Amino acid sequence: MTETRANTKKLFIKTYGCQMNVYDSDRMMDALAPHGYETTLDMATADLVLLNTCHIREKASEKVFSELGRLKELQSERRALGGDMMIGVAGCVAQAEGEEIARRAPVVDMVFGPQAYHKLPEMVSRTESTRHLHQALRKPIVDTDFPEEDKFAHLPAARKEVTIKRGLTAFLTVQEGCDKFCSFCVVPYTRGAEVSRPVSQILAEARGLVEAGVKEITLLGQNVNAYHGDDEGRVVGLGELAHRLAEIHGLERLRYTTSHPRDMDDALIAAHRDLDILMPYLHLPVQSGSDSILKAMNRRHTAAEYLKVIETIKTARPDMALSGDFIVGFPGETDQDFEDTLKIIADVGYASAYSFKYSTRPGTPGANLGDQVDEAVKNERLWRLQDLVNAQTTAFHASCVGKTIPVLVERPGRMPGQVGGRSPYLQAVHLDGGAELIGAIHQVEIVGTSTNSLVGRLKVSVAA
């Protein structure tokens, strides 16, 4: 592989699933950039196409195989014109079904899991060097090992030019993998055991982002508040990490996702009380409101314990708003269990929530449970749950009307003479104003709501 940019090659990454995958896709771009790869938005003209897949819910692998079918056609078209296209599958489907993908889709050149991203340049280089061979003679590279060594040690640093393109907000992975083993979830198998990045690495990356103009950072991890990173021989939790990040001059907002209720420790809750930079909006999934389902899910907490955590957080930070994840139709879920879930939603009052029908994930303990819930029942429960959550979201938006809130203005609005940004609660806010407002936090009075967003008016302080 050449180290020069003389012969630029085009890279297209299609990202499925969570923000962690978005972050990983950016890192893959960063890793390949020094080797002459520039990203393109046009898949058909790419020299290398990577599918960064997600395995968390249903039909993940079918989606990948149908996309590979389409890619095979694009590849044939390119070859007919004398060009070529290399194809790789990354992410959690690759981790879970690596050999199967290589066997069923010979069009694929590389299949590799999230633990192998730092080896991407080498894999691409090996693939490039065998392109001249007939497909039957080429063997796809499959890398789904869980290395002993720390994958974060090899993570390519975010490049400034990429960061600028990303704008005012950025993700930063601080932790990966999970040791909780909820019985429905593939993450402990696809992402592996929990690993935290050292504090110094995170601070360096955060400083680089802020220097490049980023004002808001979202710390990512599958179980982010289990963070326990090394700080020169001492173990530091997420609360202390937030304090360290808050010292970075120019960083104005900090968020983190996704958290487990059991890991909301005192230091993290106190950080919400003490740090203005930590946004008062927390994604804290409970999954179900029924104690027997929570037990079967191996969540290791009860509904009452979850509510207690929320009460403590709200005492520390009274303006805290919550979002959550819910699964309906977990094996054995009765009508009463589902009513308990509606009850916990009513008790908490969410600003927003994601909800899913349970789907069996091969290899998880949940896959061996009998007493599956009928699909029609799952559908009906999902609709009822989503109706309730939608009503709560609408009520939350309405409760903002009349208040003045800080809005990070990020971009031109949909209409000329308008700009758009985000509230502390991640709501989209539109207001009248010029491009000079972009890039800073402004006080905005909320004067109305429209579907999924707020309408604001810039608050101009009048000198006395």
Beta bridge partners of residue 51, listed in sequence order: 14, 89
| Binding partner of residue 180 among ligand 5AD, ligand SF4, none, CB cut-off 5 to 8 Å per kind | ligand SF4
User: Exactly one of 83, 133, 150, 181 binds ligand SF4 (CB under 6 A); which one?
Assistant: 181
Is 400 known as a binding-site position? no
**Contacts with ligand 5AD, residue ranges (CB under 6 A):** 56-57, 184-185, 285, 287, 325, 327, 356, 358-359, 361
Angle at 283 (CA atoms; ends 293, 62), nearest 5 degrees: 70
- What is the spatial distance between Cα 317 and Cα 311, in angstroms, rounded to a whole number? 10
| Binding partner of residue 188 among ligand SF4, ligand 5AD, none, CB cut-off 5 to 8 Å per kind | ligand SF4
- Three-class SS state of 434: coil
Which x/- pattern over 253-292 shows residues binding ligand SF4 (rule: CB under 6 A)?
Answer: -------x--------------------------------
Tokens matching residue 66: 């149908």
Contact between 19 and 171 under an 8 Å Cβ cutoff? The reply is: yes
Shortest CB 55 distance to ligand SF4, Å? 11
Q: Which residue has the tokens 């139709």?
A: 329
User: Exactly one of 78, 159, 166, 180 binds ligand SF4 (CB under 6 A); which one?
Assistant: 180
Cα→Cα distances 170→27, 217, 426, 436, Å: 12, 5, 14, 21
Shortest CB 187 distance to ligand SF4, Å? 4
| Binding partner of residue 223 among ligand SF4, ligand 5AD, none, CB cut-off 5 to 8 Å per kind | ligand SF4
185 binds ligand SF4, rule: CB under 6 A = yes
Residues in the chain: 464
222 binds ligand SF4, rule: CB under 6 A = yes
170 or 182: CB nearest ligand SF4: 182
Query: What is Dmax (Cα atoms) for the chain?
Result: 80
- What is the spatial distance between Cα 433 and Cα 455, in angstroms, rounded to a whole number? 12
Is 54 known as a binding-site position? yes
- Three-class SS state of 136: helix
188 binds ligand SF4, rule: CB under 6 A = yes
Is 178 known as a binding-site position? yes
- What is the spatial distance between Cα 183 and Cα 361, in angstroms, rounded to a whole number? 9
CB-based closest residue to ligand 5AD: 325
Q: Which residues are annotated as a binding site for [4Fe-4S] cluster?
A: 18, 54, 92, 178, 182, 185
